[in-house]
């Protein structure tokens, strides 16, 4: 009964989020299928994740390598086509674990991490897509490279052989997100990058209308965190 209730709630929330994405895409004359919904499962256990897998969601986001390692081998045994995105700050000493586990890494933000990822990719032969995280609001407490450093970081990533998928950003929490998301989209265009990982539960419509290709949604799918 509890699992049935979880599944029903997950289905309702998922339908609502997909409708929000579709509505925003229509406003921007985009195909909703061009927007990947990443269900952010940090702090949620396998029992909460399985209903979304059963409903057809295949892209999931985790913040910490250790947490992902604890949950996803078992879930992937049942759903081998599930794709895992690491979206939190990544320590260089976890690069090999991240490359072994993830299909995409959304928080590549400094030269030392690029070097570590390049070594791990060369050693394993596995190459997750990499999004360069930009500190779009110049916030000292957030990860991401300064905007001024982006050209050099991108050049280093390409020279190192990383498969650069696009840019990722998190706008300042208390400010209107549109100018920051628009700036990230502009930077991606200027650097010839097609991927844009931006938009969360509260601002996904704005992100989609501004060109997001990946939206990272947690609370709208799982409810507010305790």
Tell me the CATH number at 73.
Answer: 3.20.20.10
pLDDT at 3 over 90: no
Note whether residue 180 is domain-resident: yes
pLDDT at 220 over 90: yes
Note whether residue 108 is domain-resident: yes
223 pLDDT tier (thresholds 50, 70, 90): confident
d(CA 99, CA 155): 20
- Span of 28-32, 42-46, 116-120, 153-157 with lowest mean pLDDT: 42-46
- In this structure, what token pair is assigned to residue 98? 């991240």
Q: How many residues does the chain have?
A: 226
- Span of 2-6, 78-82, 124-128, 190-194 with lowest mean pLDDT: 2-6
- In this structure, what token pair is assigned to residue 193? 């990058």
Residues of the domain holding 165: 2-221
pLDDT at 88 over 90: yes
Note whether residue 80 is domain-resident: yes
Note whether residue 26 is domain-resident: yes
Burial of 15 (0-12, 13-18, 19+ CB in 10 A): exposed
Q: What's the rounded mean pLDDT across residues 43-71?
A: 95
Mean pLDDT in the chain?
A: 95
Q: What's the rounded mean pLDDT across residues 156-174?
A: 97
pLDDT at 50 over 90: yes
pLDDT at 226 over 60: no
Q: Which residues contact 15 (CB under 8 A, 6 or more apart)?
A: none
Residue percentage of the chain with pLDDT more than 90: 92
d(CA 57, CA 39): 8
Quick one: pLDDT at residue 1?
Answer: 47
d(CA 34, CA 185): 15
pLDDT at 197 over 60: yes
100 pLDDT tier (thresholds 50, 70, 90): very high
Q: How many domains are there within the chain? A: 1
pLDDT at 224 over 70: yes
d(CA 40, CA 84): 10
- In this structure, what token pair is assigned to residue 28? 């921007």
Name the pTM for this structure. Answer: 0.95
8 pLDDT tier (thresholds 50, 70, 90): confident
Rounded to 5, what percent of the chain is helix, strand, coil?
Answer: 50, 15, 35
d(CA 19, CA 21): 5
Q: Is the dihedral of CA 190, 194, 195, 199 positive or negative?
A: positive
**What's the CA dihedral at 47, 197, 93, 44 to 10 degrees?**
-10
Note whether residue 226 is domain-resident: no
């Amino acid at each position: 009964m509890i699992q049935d209730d979880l599944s029903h709630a997950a289905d309702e929330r998922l339908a609502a989020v997909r409708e929000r994405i579709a509505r925003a895409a229509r406003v921007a004359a985009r195909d909703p299928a061009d927007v990947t919904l990443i269900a952010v499962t940090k702090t949620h256990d396998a029992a909460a994740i399985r209903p979304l897998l059963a409903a057809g969601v295949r892209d999931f986001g985790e913040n910490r390598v250790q947490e992902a390692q604890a949950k996803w081998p078992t879930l992937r045994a049942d759903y081998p086509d599930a794709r895992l995105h690491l979206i939190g700050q990544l320590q260089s000493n976890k690069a090999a674990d991240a490359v072994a586990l993830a299909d995409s890494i959304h928080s590549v933000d400094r030269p030392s991490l690029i070097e570590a990822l390049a070594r791990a990719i060369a050693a394993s032969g596995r190459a997750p897509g990499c999004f360069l995280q930009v500190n779009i609001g110049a916030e000292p407490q957030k990860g991401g490279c300064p905007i001024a450093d982006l050209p050099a970081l991108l050049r280093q990533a390409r020279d190192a052989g990383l498969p650069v998928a696009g840019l990722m950003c998190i706008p300042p929490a208390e400010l209107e997100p549109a100018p920051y998301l628009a700036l990230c989209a502009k930077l991606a265009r200027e650097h010839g990058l097609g991927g844009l990982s931006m938009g969360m539960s509260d601002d996904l419509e704005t992100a989609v209308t501004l060109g997001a290709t990946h939206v990272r949604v947690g609370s709208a799918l799982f409810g507010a965190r305790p």
